[in-house]
Amino acid sequence: MHPQIVQDKPGKCPLCGMTLEPMANAGHADAHGKKVNHTGMIADFKKRFYVVLILTIPIMLLSEMIQHWLNIHISFPGSKYVLLALSSVVFFYGGWPFLKGLVNEARAKNPGMMFLIGFAISVAYIYSVAIVFGLEGMDFFWELATLILIMLLGHWIEMKSVAGASRELELLVQLMPDDAHLLDGEKVTDVKTSTLKENDSILIKPGEKVAADGIIADGETYLNESMLTGESKPVQKIKGDKVIAGSINGNGAIKITVSHGAKDSYLSQVIKLVQDAQNSKSNTQLLADKAAKWLTIIALLAGISTFLYWYLTGQSLAFAMERMVTVIVICCPHALGLAVPLVVAKSTALSAKHGLLIKNRTAFENARKITTIVFDKTGTLTVGKFEVSKIVSLQKELTENEILRLASALEQKSEHPIATGILQKVKDLSITIPATENFNAITGKGVEATVEGKKILVVSPGYLKDNNIAIPDGFTANDTETVVFVIINNELAGYIALSDEIRPESAEAIQTLKQNNIKSILLTGDNNKVAASVSKTLGMESFFAEVLPHQKLEKIKELQSKGEFVAMTGDGVNDAPALAQADIGIAVGSGSDIAAETAGIVLVNSNPTDIVNLVLFGKATYRKMIQNLIWATGYNVVALPLAAGVLYKQGILLSPAAGAVLMTISTVVVAINASMLKVKKNKVVR
């Protein structure tokens, strides 16, 4: 009864106790471990509905109440027993899912929707059987049949709606192709994707999906990664570039060396992350669960109280029983129980499609509370690709290329964007990089090592300041350049200036945040001049420059002490403490594993607009949850008194069947509302 539930192995649904069935796309799922859900149950409910529909027609024709309304008379010897037999089939066959759910929820000591429906139809059936065998009164057989019929139809429709709300996850599963072209020399063999392992060589033909994560060994092409990262434009890939399983190849054939087996692929990790997030419970969902549990108790108490009131005030046993059944049915907390899980299923899968990976549900929902976002500069607000713009030697005997050569020896051990820029320049100039000894990182300041018997340091301006080393005369660098100094045997030998371009999307992202009353602050280890220039250009509120790793955490605490609800973006090991301290930690790009583990949310791309989209989507998601909760609770507030017969004297009385219709409609409304959730990029939230 809960299609949002997905498990790695066969078993029972933890919510309703029904047997889970293999997903329709099991062939795709095999690569990630076979998944099971309620997909097959939609067909089962459909079949049960049609059988009950056929049986309901003669049941209604044989019922005294219907004959009275239609002014007809159908009676023959044993007709009441025929009516009993037909109704028994409807009760046990059509009502089986609800009866099974009643038993499972009772065993779990967690009564809910299935318990209430099972209890209601059991009361109606047992009472009607007693009438057949001598108890005075009028049977409920036609009401029982129509109630079960409507409940089956309602759950059939509801499950289709709910399945639609969760289809994005299934689309992710479908991205993984079933087969791959395994290369053995020039020989090509088609194998199952699930059998691929590290270092296998595979061929990706034009128009095919990439079968595994890997590195291009030969060829070049454009890949469509939109379903994986949210990047709408095809991305050019050449020899040596990484590729992601599930992306769609353009018009070039490429050979790939597999880096991860299917179960360890990026796509598999994303799917697992989505499933974990969907199965985790935030504060909002815990509140909804508690409310649903209390509503179940209220429904039972209200049903019994309604029965006692009408029976003790002189109404017939049949009337009192009918009121009790209607109250119990109409107050089933199904809509309330699904109000949050449906939005969760939709939002987590949608997020993954757009490159927003939610690890912590509460962190995502709290995005609506953000008052300040602290941005890392390099690779987030800027392109992150440093290019050497200037090399200056301060010693006559040293050429610019020699300064670059010695610096590159140290930088080859670093993955920092500055190091990447220096190494690229060395590659362009075809300079041979020497070996290093005694390598050591100077936290937040640079690196040191021994190269060809010389003690070499490549450090930031902050290191010079801390060690009272004077900046040389004639030193120049523009506001957007980042400078590293090269020290040889304790003497300042030269410096290298690198420039990093501001992303064109950054200004738009900062402006959208400002329109939504969210402050943006730059936090960087770069110098004041560069930080001030970037901050001013983008229109940010303020900046913190020359910040060491341990100081990042202190800056976050400082902002929080002022009452700010802080989101922190970061991509490196040195960002991990600050990400953990922030109210919401956001790991961006292909940052370190430590940063990703520490953060509550991971962004696949290092694009500032994705951060804005995350905030706005978090607000939209929470809004949908509240809408569903308001609808689900408001419906019960109105429906319960009507079901109990408060307006009976005014001629307004709901039948059990009408109660079932209203309950079903409320659930479908919740499902449809959840399915309408969309990721709207760079919009102002009002």
Q: Which helix (H) or strand (E) holds 392?
A: strand 387-393
Cβ contacts of 192 within 8 Å, gap of 6 or more: 30, 178, 179, 180
Burial bucket for residue 11 (CB in 10 Å: 0-12, 13-18, 19+): exposed
Q: Residue 573: helix, strand or coil by DSSP?
A: helix
Is 305:121 a contact under the CB 8 Å cutoff?
Answer: no
Is 155:668 a contact under the CB 8 Å cutoff?
Answer: no
Nearest to 226 by CA among 346, 354, 347: 354
Q: Of these residues, 30, 289, 376, 571, which one is catalytic? A: 376
Give yes or no: 376 in active site.
yes
Cβ contacts of 413 within 8 Å, gap of 6 or more: 436, 439, 447, 449
- Take residue 349 and report the two structure tokens written for it: 């899968």
Is 103:123 a contact under the CB 8 Å cutoff?
Answer: no
Q: Report CA torsion sign: 76, 77, 81, 86.
A: negative
Is 534:522 a contact under the CB 8 Å cutoff?
Answer: yes
Is 226:211 a contact under the CB 8 Å cutoff?
Answer: no
DSSP string, 443-511: TTTEEEEEETTEEEEEE-HHHHHHTTPPPPTT----TTEEEEEEEETTEEEEEEEEE-PBPTTHHHHHH
Altogether, the residues listed in the chain come to a count of 686
Residue positions annotated with a catalytic role: 376
